[in-house]
Amino acid sequence: MAENRNSPNREYPLERTRNIGICAHIDAGKTTLTERILFYTGMIHRIGEVHDGAATTDWMEQEKERGITITSAAVTARWKQMKEEGVFKLREMEDIRVNIIDTPGHVDFTAEVERSLRVLDGAIFVLCAVAGVQPQSETVFRQAEKYGVPRIAFVNKMDRTGANFERVVSDVREKLGANAWPILIPIGAEDTLSGQIDVVNQKAIMYNDDDKLGSTYKVRELEGKEVEIAKQAYAGLVEELCNQDDEIGTMFLEEKPISIPDVKQALRRAVISNKIIPIAGGSAFKNKGVQYLIDAVIDYLPGPLDIQPAKGINPDDHSITIDATPDDNGKFCSLAFKLWSDKFGRLVFFRVYSGAIKKGDTIYNPRTRRTERVGRLIQIQASEHKDIDVCYSGDIAAMVGVRDVRTGDTLCDEDFEIQLEPPSFPEPVISMAVEPKTKADQEKMGAALARLSEEDPTFFVRTDEETGQTIIAGMGELHLEIICDRLKREHKVETNTGKPQIAYRETLTKEADGEGKLIKQSGGRGQYGHVILKVFPSERGKGVTVENKVVGGTIPKEYINSCKAGCQEAMLNGIIAGYNVIDIHVDILDGSYHDVDSNENAFKMAAIFAVKDALKKAKCVMLEPIMAVEAMTPEQYQGDIMGDLNRRRGKIGAIDSRNNLSIVKAEVPLSEMFGYSTTIRTLSSGRASYSMQPSHFEQVPQNIVEQIVEQRTGKK
């Protein structure tokens, strides 16, 4: 029973807890919506605006200056669900605790969205009423699909010129393939936006224009055209629920009356099982429609008890799956989804899936096989920190004092060995050289970059073996610009940077055998390692996988991990131009050892030699990052913009039109997109705009491979 899963000491029981994310394309209004939710829930007493640099969740200096969200910020709000006259609520509750994560919209910070969705139970998917489904909307939607996160869509900016709720609903259905049904339809649009039709309750909610903060509204009966709109929407919703939900479907077949509570319960079940996405419309900036959206979050999005228990594997035997059931009295199990360093020290953000954790407790990390003591537990309110004594299942908090933790690590009780699936992250697509302005900063820069790459799984640091330069790699120019800005502000390191370079990749096209030997005899103890392996191409996005298939102990068990480490290290430098090798599987098959001279290092080196030997025979090719580009332009400039994209080796896809604008979709190599923002402005007299995001890697044409190799070797 749910009641037994709650500790008697917890303030909010599991059934009154919601963990939700707010995610969308850049500029759809996520942070503005978060700010309104915090205001209406009483967590802040003054609404801060993004354009003033005063939003609660945009607390970094860089966020305030640029008016964008860079890091996902966690805040906790409390919402008292009201029961209004004549309007049935799903359940009358006391306060509900809502943990909210406001995520970035910019594609360069996609890792923040990925790791947030991994630990959330539900999400508000924000769309712009004018632009509809945009490229990053699709990416975020797919990320939520991957983790099976139930969603409510909010069509924001209904007050803007060109806003069209019906068009966005059909966009969501057609472009995203989502089963979307309106539950709160805007009354009016643009400057006539005045309220919402509550489809389920068949009422109208009117927001007071004389109350700037939109805190007051009244519920009235439907009038005029509203009656027909509401009836049609209700009939469509009920019909779809009968198709999707067995319980209400049976009631319909048996001709039993279907009440509003029945519809709400069925809609909740359908949303939680990802069969339906409810859509609401309003304007966060104009304070219209947010309170009823929060009610919909409480009514229809799941709490920790409503979803399947988190599944993990036994670290020693991956075929054994283990459930982490939300229960305060169970064994402790949590996922570390984010690291952050600030003036308080190193924070590890974690979501508790089962059990509870107190400050001073010892936790176990199955990856490192080590235990660590939790110094402090903190509840985060964006940049505000509040110490807490205990964190229960279903909660999100941060801990201080644990050292050897990476993003995606499971933290659990020592006698409950479980490894939860970590979030997966995309490969970096751009890199550049960075050096400190003064010799004194050299050491400081190394430590600062190491800390930043710990925090951000899409930011990589390496040293170029040939030039000795420090190379940083990330998801885009803005991503690396923010990193350099953080080096300067947070770590007081001034840097010079080189020109951004493309993060090419190498991969193989056929399987091959490889053999590597290290034999060194130099008086006294020698070095001996011998590895035989086979490499295979694997499907795109698989990365590098290594499997031990040694039988008969020809390579002793204690050296297998060194062989695996050698294989992974060998992939950092391909044989065409020294780029990372991706999407490759290695089987370690055989080898030999020496009783005295063999050691871990010898086998690591032998594995590196064996991989290099195999790659030479495996017909390697170079890959380049391809970007999905969407250019929005007045129709008279469409031809010029398409011609320019063709010159950039672009493949033109669909061409749509909306509001007298042409929308050209294309796939273009990232190497051809530098300086594109200036070109598109010039071609369209400043009237066109574009967005792009990483799509996939594709083979580089041979003539360009030769140029790249020449440039790389020219540096030697």
The domains located in the chain, with CATH, are 2-300 (3.40.50.300), 310-420 (2.40.30.10), 431-502 (3.30.70.870), 506-618 (3.30.230.10), 624-714 (3.30.70.240)
Q: Judge contact between 298 and 93, C-beta under 8 A.
A: yes
pLDDT at 450: 87
621: burial class by Cβ within 10 Å (0-12, 13-18, 19+)?
A: middle
Q: Judge contact between 337 and 118, C-beta under 8 A.
A: yes
Weakest mean pLDDT among 245-249, 337-341, 472-476, 594-598: 337-341
Q: Count CB-CB contacts under 10 A for residue 336.
A: 25
pLDDT-derived band at 211 (thresholds 50, 70, 90) equals low
pLDDT at 89: 43
Better-scored residue on pLDDT, 161 or 95: 161
pLDDT at 54: 44
Q: How many helices (H) and strands (E) does the chain have?
A: 16, 37
Q: How far apart are CA 519 and CA 599, in angstroms?
A: 11
Encoded tokens for 472: 């940083």
Q: Judge contact between 516 and 608, C-beta under 8 A.
A: yes
Nearest to 105 by CA among 146, 149, 57, 61: 57
DSSP-derived pairing of the beta strands 333-342 and 410-412: antiparallel
Weakest mean pLDDT among 36-40, 96-100, 103-107, 196-200: 103-107
Q: Work out the mean pLDDT of the chain and round it to a whole number.
A: 84
CB half-sphere exposure, 403, CA atoms < 13 A? 3
Nearest to 437 by CA among 471, 481, 487, 483: 487
DSSP-derived pairing of the beta strands 512-520 and 495-497: unpaired
pLDDT-derived band at 90 (thresholds 50, 70, 90) equals very low
Encoded tokens for 655: 């061409």
pLDDT-derived band at 681 (thresholds 50, 70, 90) equals confident
pLDDT at 508: 92
Q: How far apart are CA 532 and CA 311, in angstroms?
A: 36
514: burial class by Cβ within 10 Å (0-12, 13-18, 19+)?
A: buried
How many angstroms separate the Cα of 81 from the Cα of each of 92, 97, 152, 271, 296? 7, 11, 18, 20, 10
Residue 59, pLDDT > 50, answer no
Token pair 């913009």 is at which residue?
641
Encoded tokens for 219: 């519920």
Weakest mean pLDDT among 77-81, 261-265, 389-393, 566-570: 77-81
pLDDT-derived band at 66 (thresholds 50, 70, 90) equals very low
**Residue 206 — φ and ψ, nearest 5°?**
-110, 125
How are strands ordered across the β-sheet holding 584-592?
Answer: 512-520, 527-537, 584-592, 544-548
DSSP-derived pairing of the beta strands 333-342 and 345-354: antiparallel
pLDDT at 668: 94
Q: Which amino acid is at 225?
A: K
Q: Which amino acid is at 256?
A: K
Q: Give mean pLDDT, residues 570-598.
A: 90
Residues 6+ positions from 228 with CB-CB distance below 8 Å:
none
**Listed ranges 83-87, 208-212, 628-632; the one with the highest mean pLDDT:** 628-632
pLDDT-derived band at 632 (thresholds 50, 70, 90) equals confident
Q: How far apart are CA 625 and CA 475, in angstroms?
A: 11
Residue 108, pLDDT > 70, answer no
Q: How far apart are CA 136 and CA 144, in angstroms?
A: 12
Q: How far apart are CA 142 and CA 127, in angstroms?
A: 15
690: left (phi over 0), alpha (psi -120 to 50) or beta: beta
Q: Give mean pLDDT, residues 181-205.
A: 92
pLDDT at 713: 63
Q: Give mean pLDDT, residues 118-123.
A: 88
Encoded tokens for 697: 């890697």
Encoded tokens for 363: 């936790």
Query: Is residue 371 within a helix (H) or strand (E), and if so which, with residue range?
Result: strand 370-373
pLDDT tens, position by position, 506-533: 999 999 999 999 988 766 678 899 999 9
pLDDT-derived band at 348 (thresholds 50, 70, 90) equals confident
Q: Judge contact between 108 and 62, C-beta under 8 A.
A: no
Q: Judge contact between 185 and 296, C-beta under 8 A.
A: no
Weakest mean pLDDT among 283-297, 355-369, 459-473, 644-658: 459-473
Q: What torsion, rounded to 10 degrees, do the Cα atoms 354, 356, 359, 360 define?
A: -80
pLDDT at 427: 76
Q: Judge contact between 379 and 386, C-beta under 8 A.
A: yes
Residue 584, pLDDT > 90, answer yes
Q: How far apart are CA 114 and CA 122, in angstroms?
A: 13
Nearest to 151 by CA among 58, 236, 24, 337: 24
Q: Give mean pLDDT, residues 366-374.
A: 89
pLDDT-derived band at 28 (thresholds 50, 70, 90) equals confident
DSSP-derived pairing of the beta strands 151-156 and 277-281: parallel
Helix, strand, coil share (%) of the chain residues, nearest 5 = 30, 30, 35
Query: Which 3 state secondary structure label does DSSP give 423?
Result: coil
Nearest to 116 by CA among 301, 337, 392: 337
**Residue 689 — φ and ψ, nearest 5°?**
-140, 170
Residue 246, pLDDT > 70, answer yes
pLDDT tens, position by position, 399-456: 887 888 888 889 999 888 898 988 877 778 888 889 988 888 888 898 889 888 888 8
pLDDT-derived band at 76 (thresholds 50, 70, 90) equals confident
pLDDT tens, position by position, 134-162: 877 887 888 888 888 999 999 999 999 88
Q: How far apart are CA 580 and CA 573, in angstroms?
A: 5
pLDDT at 362: 92
3-state SS, 162-229, equals CCCHHHHHHHHHHHHCCCEEEEEEEECCHHHCCEEEECCCCEEEEECCCCCCCCCEEEECCCCHHHHH
Considering only CA atoms, give the Rg of the chain. Answer: 28
Q: Give how far the C-alpha of residue 451 lies from the chain's centroid of Cα atoms, to the nearest Å.
A: 20
Nearest to 641 by CA among 671, 667, 662: 662
pLDDT at 91: 41
Distance between first and last Cα of the chain: 68
Taking the alpha carbons of 679, 683, 686, 689 in that order, is the dihedral positive or negative?
Answer: negative
pLDDT at 404: 83
